[in-house]
């Protein structure tokens, strides 16, 4: 199915909504796995979003200017004994786009209700 120009896919709306939730929780930056977890919890889904699907969507949103990203400082990751995270943050354009998508009927049938703050 070909998407309409400017229209957001359900997964993209879910990601951006989770980004807004993260902002509300005063933790504006999130990483891939935390988004997958947030979407799973919100949808009460049995499985996490697949790697390929999730990171392709994140890349698309970043290219479109709806998200921005940076790599966290290596010292932080080393202190926690884990690989570095790529941290995403929703942009003003992204917030406006998801608000518009939620307001119109272009929004997906599920997983886009702004939920409680993301953990």
Binding residues vs other proteins (CB under 8 A): 31-34, 36-37, 47-56, 59, 71, 82-86
Least spacing, CB of residue 119 vs other proteins, in Å: 12
Q: Minimal distance in Å, beta carbon 96 to other proteins? A: 25
How far is CA 4 from each of CA 7, 8, 55, 61, 96, rounded to the nearest angstrom?
A: 5, 8, 21, 15, 18
Q: Which is nearer to other proteins, 88 or 102 (CB)?
A: 88
Least distance between other proteins and beta carbon 103 (Å): 28
Which residue lies nearer to other proteins by CB, 50 or 96? 50
Residue closer to other proteins (CB basis): 88 or 112: 88
Distant-in-sequence contacts of 35-38, Cβ < 8 A, 24+ apart: 35/88, 37/119, 38/118, 38/119
Three-class DSSP category at 88: strand
């Amino acid at each position: 199915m070909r998407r309409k120009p400017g229209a957001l896919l359900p997964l993209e709306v879910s990601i951006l909504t989770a980004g807004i939730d993260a902002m509300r929780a005063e933790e504006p930056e999130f990483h891939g796995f935390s988004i997958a977890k947030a979407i799973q919890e919100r949808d009460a889904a049995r499985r996490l979003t697949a790697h390929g699907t999730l990171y392709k969507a994140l890349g698309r949103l970043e290219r479109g200017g709806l998200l921005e990203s940076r790599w966290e400082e290596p010292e932080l990751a080393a202190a926690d004994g884990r690989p570095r995270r790529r941290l995403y943050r929703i942009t003003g354009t992204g917030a406006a786009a998801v608000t518009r998508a939620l307001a119109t009927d272009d929004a997906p049938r599920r997983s886009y209700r702004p939920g409680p703050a993301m953990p």
